[in-house]
């Protein structure tokens, strides 16, 4: 009799254990499914954001500084959406409808994706989507006076990096580190600061053009590699190869000689043969 009771208890215990294990397996599968679905969603949103950035860069280049009127800028702003813009020098938001001195600020990233990766930073790291950027169109007296486009990202080395291009009425004259390639094309190295930690400090290269820049200069300035944003970009030589090379030949190699290889902004030895 005692043996029967013991066997029965063992059978009940085994059934309970099996149910528990099945529940645990179901929970793990459900969590895995939710995680996989979330990862797929973010990858999809990231791909869309990259495609959006690429199209926006292309549309900006259709503007002609000093000639295109505010309506051409308005079409771009309406197509991509803007965020409110104000500064301390009297420039207003063009969305207010006054075009004497105003600007459009266009975010490059999908706002919903920004909110999600801000809430769960690990997603940005795991899915290589830790990047963002902004486009800017300035209007003066109803005419496009300048436009710019820039992206910041976390390189595979962990360093903060940025790249971009701009067109203004004349080349900038107040940049601390500038490689003047011609009278109509230059590349500048700008400091970046996104916080106080060492990993939040970095550098950006920006190509600058004036309205008289020729087709070759424009092609080199705007040769931007968006594809690497899907998998995580390396250093600036990968994302901005032509402008990086122009900068290195004219100014960058002096920085490398003075400050060391970190100022190469390239994980491989510079290829300057082209």
Give residue limits of the domains in the chain. Answer: 1-145, 155-274
How does pLDDT run along the chain (274 residues), one tens digit per residue?
545 445 555 555 666 667 766 677 656 555 555 455 555 555 666 778 888 999 999 999 999 999 999 999 999 999 999 999 888 788 899 999 989 999 999 998 755 555 555 565 555 555 555 788 999 999 999 999 999 999 998 887 888 899 999 999 999 998 889 999 999 999 999 988 877 787 788 999 999 999 999 999 999 999 999 888 877 788 899 999 999 999 999 999 999 998 888 888 887 666 666 5
Give the list of residues 6+ apart from residue 229 with CB closer than 8 angstroms, or none. 46, 50, 53, 128, 129, 131, 151, 153
CA distances from 82 to 15, 218, 267 (A): 60, 25, 35
Question: Are the C-beta atoms of residues 126 and 143 closer than 8 Å to each other?
Answer: no
- What is the value of pTM for the model shown? 0.78
Contact residues for 156 (Cβ-Cβ < 8 A; gap 6+): 232, 233, 234, 267
Beta-carbon count within 10 A of 168 CB:
17
């Amino acid at each position: 009799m005692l043996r029967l009771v013991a066997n029965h208890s063992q059978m009940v215990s085994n059934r309970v254990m099996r149910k528990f294990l099945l529940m645990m397996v179901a929970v793990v599968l459900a969590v895995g499914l939710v995680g996989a679905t979330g990862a797929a969603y973010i990858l999809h949103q990231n791909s869309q954001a990259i495609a959006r950035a690429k199209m926006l860069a292309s549309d900006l280049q259709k503007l002609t500084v000093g000639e295109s009127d505010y309506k051409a800028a308005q079409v771009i702003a309406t197509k991509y959406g803007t965020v409110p813009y104000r500064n301390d020098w009297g420039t207003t938001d063009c969305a207010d409808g006054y075009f004497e001195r105003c600007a459009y600020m266009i975010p490059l990233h999908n706002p919903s994706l920004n909110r999600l990766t801000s809430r769960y930073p690990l997603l940005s790291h795991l899915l290589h989507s830790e990047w963002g950027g902004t486009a800017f169109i300035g209007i003066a007296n109803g005419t496009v006076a300048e436009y710019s486009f820039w992206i910041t990202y976390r390189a595979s080395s962990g360093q903060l990096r940025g790249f971009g291009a701009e067109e203004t009425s004349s080349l900038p004259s107040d940049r601390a580190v500038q490689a003047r390639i011609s009278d109509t094309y230059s590349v500048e190295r700008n400091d970046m600061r996104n916080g106080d930690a060492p990993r939040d400090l970095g550098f950006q290269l920006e190509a600058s053009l004036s309205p008289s820049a020729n087709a070759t200069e424009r092609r080199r300035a705007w040769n931007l590699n968006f594809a690497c944003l899907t998998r995580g970009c390396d250093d600036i030589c990968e994302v901005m190869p032509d402008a990086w090379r122009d900068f290195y030949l004219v100014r960058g190699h002096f920085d490398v000689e003075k400050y060391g290889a970190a100022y190469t902004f390239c994980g491989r030895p510079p290829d300057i043969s082209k």
